[in-house]
């Protein structure tokens, strides 16, 4: 698929038995088919080649208003476009869809091969749980492979699921270390060589302002109807729709950041080092400023996407205990004091630096002391000076993320 590494792809086709009623699943498959048909009808008369971006602009909000999730929408217009393209290249007629079948992205299902269950995320926030029927032997083969997409269909007598698995033929050996520090308002990424030289530093803004705006609206409504909001339909709906926006904004952001990070890591042959969120303690800065408002799930979601995109490209992801990474001196280990906004200073050895950069540097050092055989290097010699933006951040500061983010996902 993506990346330059050779990959093997194989599908595992299984019978699937819905647990409970299958009404919603039928409804989803019909809605999906009709949506594909709607897109086919609309683009059949267009003779120019349609880019993904164009398709997104034309159909995304329409499909979302039908109750689809972001990745459903993407699958639908891409599938419709491929149908039109192949029909035209064969000189055929406009395709008319009859069969009930839907292509579902990795982000819209949960697969549990140990228990042989599949949870599909459907339209309007519904889910369907299916029991998968296949021999242990057939399934066992795919342990260690990653799956990225599935097709669910109804053939008149029952449901079938084909899950697409892939495996890389070889894995990448890291040449550099990419440390990522996630914060409330930004994600800071630093790439170091194995002997401690900083070669890239980037900072991506998070959509925290947008998220907070929705969060504040929810709180405001809840305060106003403190006793009754759960029971008044209109009020409950208003709260749900803000919740939905929060979920969409974070997923969109997480996907895009995951993709950018993994591309960059592939380019530099990096092992990716993340903070191990399981070890976050109550008094951690992240909990203080963030958890009470939005929750750790924001970080979990971003990490999930980074890991997923990285594994797709055969890159290694390692999680490191983040204790002390944003408060200790990377040179002597003493506790740092705040010098001015975002700048920390060591009273013992006078080390001074940008708070987020220090966090990535400490993550890098922890990684090296734990995993690398070449010993712990000193502080990176070319660490950026505290009174200037770190080199990688100058000029292109936050640009990449904000521009593509707003283009793609403007609501």
Report the alpha-carbon distance of residue 320 to residue 366 in Å, rounded: 7
DSSP reduced 3-state for 368:
helix
Q: Applying CB under 5 A, does 332 fall inside the site for Zn ion?
A: yes
Say whether residue 337 binds Zn ion (CB under 5 A): no
Backbone angles phi, psi at 165, to 5 degrees: -110, 155
Stretch that binds Zn ion, among 115-123, 199-207, 329-337, 362-370 (CB under 5 A): 329-337
Residue 15 or residue 348: which is nearer to Zn ion going by CB? Answer: 348
C-alpha 267/C-alpha 255 separation (Å) is 18
Structure-token pair, residue 239: 């709260």
Does 351 help bind Zn ion (rule: CB under 5 A)? Answer: yes
Q: Decide if residue 329 touches Zn ion (CB under 5 A).
A: yes
Among 9, 46, 349, 381, binds Zn ion (CB under 5 A): 349
- Looking at residue 392, the DSSP 8-state letter turns out to be G
User: Which residue, among 1, 68, 5, has the nearest Cα to 314 in the 3D structure?
Assistant: 5
Strand pairing class (7-18; 100-105): unpaired
Query: Quick one: CA dihedral 164, 165, 170, 174, positive or negative?
Result: positive
Q: Which is nearer to Zn ion, 43 or 329 (CB)?
A: 329
Window of 1-9, 98-106, 138-146, 325-333 that interacts with Zn ion by CB under 5 A: 325-333
358 binds Zn ion (CB under 5 A): no
198, 150, 184, 139: which is closest to 365 by C-alpha?
198
Only segment of 73-81, 139-147, 349-357, 377-385 that touches Zn ion (CB under 5 A): 349-357
The nearest distance, CB 331 to Zn ion, in angstroms, is: 5
Helix or strand (DSSP H, E) at 363 = helix 355-371
Q: How far is the CB of 362 from Zn ion (least distance, A)?
A: 12
Number of residues that bind Zn ion (CB under 5 A): 8
Residue closer to Zn ion by CB (options 18, 196) is 196
Minimum Å distance from CB 383 to Zn ion? 13
Q: Which of 57, 205, 331, 345 binds Zn ion (CB under 5 A)?
A: 331
**Interface pick for Zn ion out of 190, 346, 361, 380 (rule CB under 5 A):** 346
Binding mask 294-313 for Zn ion (x = CB under 5 A): --------------------
The sign of the dihedral angle between the CA atoms of 47, 68, 410, 265 is: negative
Q: Rounded to an integer, what distance in angstroms lies between the CA atom of residue 296 and that of residue 299?
A: 5
Binding site for Zn ion (CB under 5 A): 329, 331-332, 334, 346, 348-349, 351
């Amino acid at each position: 698929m993506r990346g330059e590494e050779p990959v093997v792809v194989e599908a595992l086709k299984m019978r699937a038995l819905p647990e409970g009623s299958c009404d919603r699943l039928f409804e989803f498959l019909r809605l999906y088919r009709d949506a594909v048909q709607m897109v086919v009808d609309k683009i059949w008369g267009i003779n120019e080649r349609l880019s993904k971006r164009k398709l997104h602009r034309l159909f995304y909000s329409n499909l979302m208003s039908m109750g689809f999730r972001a990745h459903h929408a993407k699958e639908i217009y891409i599938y419709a476009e491929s149908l039109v393209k192949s029909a035209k290249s064969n000189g055929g007629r406009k395709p008319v869809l009859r069969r009930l079948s839907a292509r579902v992205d990795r982000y819209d299902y949960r697969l549990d091969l140990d228990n042989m269950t599949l949870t599909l995320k459907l339209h309007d926030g519904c889910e369907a749980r299916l029991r998968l029927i296949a021999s242990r032997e057939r399934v066992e083969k795919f342990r260690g492979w990653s799956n990225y997409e599935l097709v669910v269909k109804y053939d008149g007598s029952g449901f079938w699921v084909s899950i697409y698995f892939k495996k890389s033929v070889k894995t990448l050996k890291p040449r550099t270390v990419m440390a990522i520090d996630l914060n409330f308002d930004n994600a800071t990424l630093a790439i170091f060589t194995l002997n401690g030289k900083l070669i890239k530093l980037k900072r991506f803004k998070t959509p925290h302002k947008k998220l907070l705006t929705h969060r504040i609206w929810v709180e405001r409504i809840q305060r106003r109807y403190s006793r009754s909001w759960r029971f008044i339909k209109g009020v409950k709906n208003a709260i749900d729709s803000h919740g939905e926006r929060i979920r969409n904004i974070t997923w969109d952001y997480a996907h895009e950041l995951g993709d950018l990070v993994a591309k960059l890591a592939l380019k530099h042959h990096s092992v990716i080092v993340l903070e191990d969120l399981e070890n976050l303690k109550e008094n951690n800065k992240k909990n203080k400023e963030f958890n009470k408002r939005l929750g750790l799930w924001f970080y979990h979601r971003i990490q999930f996407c980074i890991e997923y995109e990285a594994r797709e490209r055969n890159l290694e992801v390692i999680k490191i205990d983040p204790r002390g990474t944003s408060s200790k001196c990377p040179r002597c280990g003493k506790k740092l004091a705040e010098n001015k906004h975002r700048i920390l200073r060591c009273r013992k050895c006078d080390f001074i630096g940008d708070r987020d950069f220090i966090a990535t540097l400490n993550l890098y050092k922890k990684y090296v002391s734990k995993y690398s055989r070449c010993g712990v290097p000193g502080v990176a010699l070319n660490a950026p000076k505290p009174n200037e933006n770190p080199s990688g951040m100058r000029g292109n500061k936050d640009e990449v993320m904000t521009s593509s983010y707003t283009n793609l996902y403007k609501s």
